[in-house]
A and B are shown apart, each in its own frame.
Chain A
Amino acid sequence: MRSKKAQGGEIMGLLVIIILLIVIIAIWVSLSTGPPKTPAATVSNLESNSLLTSMLRTSACEGTDLEDAIEACSEEVVNACGQDSCEMVSKMCDDILTALYPKEFAAPSKMRFVLTAGGKELFSKGDKDFRKKCLDAGKEYVTAETPIFPNIGKIVLEQCPS
């Protein structure tokens, strides 16, 4: 028969193993039940699609929306709602974006908006080297694009969600 001292040592060893097992299980449980993360890109995509769709349908005057004004500007039809169509497009885009994103478009911008129609850039807001700055900062660069039918142009929204 083993001595009492040897038995005590075995019990200690068993206890140490049990404690180690408890610690390992606790760590495993806490790691496996981590919360699901909201991808910044999901929110950003929703925001972009929603913004671009909503903007195009915003009324400039009775019977004319921003999309019609962009079309008029790209076709060099000067008058829209009794104003210069291109000036009106620029003013409307600027007013909407400034009202919606006062912080994001303040320098240094956290967004860039580009409206192209008829092969030329009609309006842009935000830093020109936005993409480079975003990627240099190690952030995720997200871009969304909405075409303006029929083959008039496109609106691009670049974002750098934190």
Chain B
Amino acid sequence: MDRKGVIEMMETFMVLFIIFLLIGIGMYYFFTSSVKEQQTTIKEVCMLDATQMLASVIVIPDIQCSMHSRLEPYCADTAKLLYIKDSARAKALGELGACKKKIVFQRIYPKPEAKNNGTECTPNEPEACGQWTIFEPKPADIKGKASRTMSTPVSLYYPDKREFGMGRLLITTYTS
């Protein structure tokens, strides 16, 4: 092979090398951005899921309050909240969808005593407490994941006193 041929071949190899290098870099950035975008999509889907859940949790018969056989909108029966925790329904609510969720009803008005603010309401302690956790993912399932909370005001019905208070339904989503 003459000298000119060798130079042309080297030139071709150089061009091919640069082209493959560019393709490689392009693919790397494309896949990196794809992964990031996918994570953003998951977060967005989770938020949409949580938004829908804010409206749908409150109309579940196991939670919604009824007066004179009529279902009340945006109202949770505190007696029902005591018993739905860790039930199959609660588990389905928290685990359904794109990501795991923590579902909590918080007492807001009348304001609970400061010492009871974070205290969980249970069948043994339905009064001196501040919140009802319907579902909470296991710590191992949410370890290292970012959380975001969405909430909406709701009525809380106390059937023993036949009174309505105000509360907040909080849904925390966990995404990686």
Task: Give A contacts to B, CB under 8 Å.
Answer: 4-5, 8, 12, 15, 19, 22-23, 26, 30, 33-38, 42-43, 46-47, 49-51, 53-55, 57-59, 62, 65, 95-96, 99-100
Contact = CB atoms under 8 A, between A and B. Distances in A.
Contacts of A22: 23, 26
Interface stretch (B32-40, B81-89, B118-126, B132-140): B32-40
B106 to A, nearest CB: 10
A125 B170 CA distance: 24
Interface string B34-78: 100100110111011001001100100000000000001111000
Given A35-B44, A54-B166, A46 B55 contact: yes
Contacts, number: 95
Given A19-B22, A47-B152, A55 B54 contact: no
24 contacts: A4-B8, A5-B8, A8-B12, A22-B26, A30-B33, A34-B37, A35-B37, A35-B44, A35-B45, A37-B44, A46-B152, A51-B153, A54-B75, A54-B164, A55-B153, A57-B164, A58-B155, A95-B109, A96-B108, A96-B109, A96-B166, A99-B108, A99-B111, A100-B108
Contacts of A35: 37, 40-41, 43-45
Interface of B: 8, 12, 15, 19, 22-23, 26, 30, 33-34, 37, 40-41, 43-45, 47-48, 51, 54-55, 58, 72-75, 108-109, 111, 150, 152-155, 162-166, 168
A30 B37 contact: yes
Contacts of A26: 26, 30
B168 A100 contact: yes
Nearest to B156: A54
Contact of A100 (B22, B37, B48, B153): B153
Contacts of B168: 100
B48 A43 contact: no
A49 B74 contact: yes
A50 B153 contact: yes
Contacts of A99: 108-109, 111, 166
